[in-house]
Amino acid sequence: MSLRPELTHASVPLIEEVEVVDELGRPRPAWLPGERPLTVYLDKRELVTLMTLGGAPEHLVLGYLRNQRLVDSIEEIAAIQVDWETESAAVTTRSGVDRIEERTARRVVTTGCGQGTVYGSLLDEIDGVRLPGDAMLDQATLYAIIDTIRLQQSVYKQAGSVHGCALFQGSELLIFIEDVGRHNAVDAIAGRMWLEDMSGADKVFYTTGRLTSEMVIKAAQMGIPFLLSRSGVTQMGYQMAQRVGITLFARCTGKHFLLYTGRERFRHAQPTPLTAEGAPA
């Protein structure tokens, strides 16, 4: 049996009610999503401060360590203890982290909300990622995913100001996470996948945020061949998707989407015939 880390369960309330005044001068309630600093210590070495909603802090830390390639296997982690009184997450490993100074020496500040970070060595390792070439996604499943997200209860619908990420297997929603930055939400899903030894080969990843190079890299690191967003794609995100061979969809709303890369993995429905005037027959 593989060793699993000992985790606290330190989730906190995600929203707070406050009183505001509307355009007619009337007081009314409004809701704010939480935003809390969480400083991560790796074997007592300060690593990073993450601004987070706080819904899944242990999974967030696990996913951060995984996606930054700072810890090679989950068996190396003995415990993660989150303490909101000190706004800290203490990660204890079983035998230390090899070459920690070298691994954290070069840092890239990303375009993520709240400014995500990617350690520079990741960019050197990305060409070693191999995604499954035989995975397929059909148009009906894509539409079912978009509709499931539309109906999902969320902090965003009540308070706004957060990003959501979701993991699907086919049209089945497996995990849904929201956070103040999309990079935190994807890390939290990565952490849960790591903890449960869940493969990404047959999964689809959805995010409400734009598809930057950071998002593409993280999806590829998780072994997920399909990446969807209701938002757009940056130039570097597009180039990175081509580089790693990921199937990238953007502007996914209703029955609309744009397929940017990885067309060989997507099965279109039969096109609707048009009349001479261009309307559906």
Residue 105's pLDDT band, with cuts at 50, 70 and 90, is low
Measure Cα distances from 78 to 52, 93, 112, 260 in Å.
23, 5, 29, 41
Tens of pLDDT, residue by residue over 162-191, are: 889 999 999 999 999 999 888 899 999 999
Specify the fold of 6-124.
Ubiquitin-like (UB roll) (3.10.20)
CATH label, 137-267, candidates 3.40.50.970, 3.10.20.440, 3.40.140.10, 3.40.50.620: 3.40.140.10
Length of the chain: 281
**Over the stretch 83-96, which tens digit does the pLDDT of each residue have?**
999 999 999 999 88
- Residues 225, 103, 50, 74: is their CA dihedral positive or negative? positive
Amino acid at 240: M
Q: Are 158 and 15 in contact (CB under 8 A)?
A: yes
Residue 215: the pLDDT is 92
pLDDT digits (tens, 9 = 90+) for 256-265: 999 999 999 9
CA atoms within 13 Å, Cβ hemisphere of 35: 13
148, burial (CB in 10 Å: exposed 0-12, middle 13-18, buried 19+): middle
Q: What is the pTM of this model?
A: 0.85
User: Distance between CA atoms of 244 and 108, rounded to whole angstroms?
Assistant: 19
Q: Do 201 and 132 form a contact (C-beta atoms < 8 A)?
A: yes
- Residue 126 predicted with pLDDT over 60: yes
Annotate 207-229 with b (16+ C-beta within 10 A) or e (fewer): bbbbbbbbbbbbbbbbbbbbbbb
What's the rounded Cα separation, in Å, for the pair 274 and 280? 5
For all residues of the chain together, what is the average pLDDT? 87
The one-letter code for the residue type at 51 is M
- Which spans in the chain are helix H? 57-67, 100-103, 121-125, 139-151, 155-159, 182-195, 213-221, 235-244
Q: What is the average pLDDT across 48-59?
A: 93
Q: Determine the Cα–Cα distance for residues 59 and 65; give it in Å rounded to an integer.
A: 10
Q: Give residues with Cβ within 8 angstroms of 206, minimum separation 6.
A: 145, 149, 165, 166, 167, 168, 228, 229, 252
Domain locations along the chain: 6-124, 137-267
